[in-house]
Amino acid sequence: MAVVNRCAVGIYPAQQLLEWARQLDLDVDAADAREPCLYLIPDYDTQEEAEEILKEVYEAIFEAELDYWHRDTGTWPAERTYSVFRKWFEVRFYPLIQDLVGEELTATEVDEEFIGELRTALEGLEQQT
């Protein structure tokens, strides 16, 4: 077993996000709707450091979470500041990650063009069903 040189932040939907989702007629009562998404972040030593790291990356997390819930960016809140982020999401930090898989971790970068092509393909599949 290896300890990964990363920490994680768990992002849970808060009441503000759930109210927004209900307005869009999204199923907030689905079994996985309230499960967190975990994001790897750099190591930190204190809670203050963890908060500073989150302040640096919250915009990307905010957009990823909104995209997960509803892809129409026109429905997203116009104001996406850190204080709004903290109202829409509950945050929990995980300071220790242990790798039980034993294989080397790899990351694959995807660019916006690829994501756009993937969305178009998935929308085509949804329309066929």
Residue range 3-24, pLDDT digits in tens: 788 999 999 999 999 999 999 9
Q: Which comes out higher in pLDDT, residue 80 or 127?
A: 80
pLDDT of residue 104: 73
* Statement: residue 126 has pLDDT above 60: no
Of 35, 10, 1, 29, nearest to 95 by C-alpha is 10
pLDDT of residue 30: 79
Overall pTM surpassing 0.85 (yes/no): no
Of 36, 35, 34, 38, nearest to 15 by C-alpha is 34
Lowest mean pLDDT among 20-24, 31-35, 70-74, 83-87: 31-35
* Statement: residue 125 has pLDDT above 70: no
pLDDT of residue 74: 96
With a CB cutoff of 8 Å and minimum separation 6, the contacts of 7 are 40, 41, 42, 43, 44, 50, 93, 94, 95, 96, 97
Three-state DSSP state, 113: helix
pLDDT of residue 113: 74
Q: Are 41 and 16 in contact (CB under 8 A)?
A: no
What is the pLDDT confidence band of residue 112, given thresholds at 50, 70 and 90? confident
Amino acid at 60: A
Q: Are 58 and 82 in contact (CB under 8 A)?
A: yes
Structure-token pair, residue 1 = 């077993």
Per the document, the length of the chain is 129
pLDDT of residue 105: 67
pLDDT of residue 63: 96
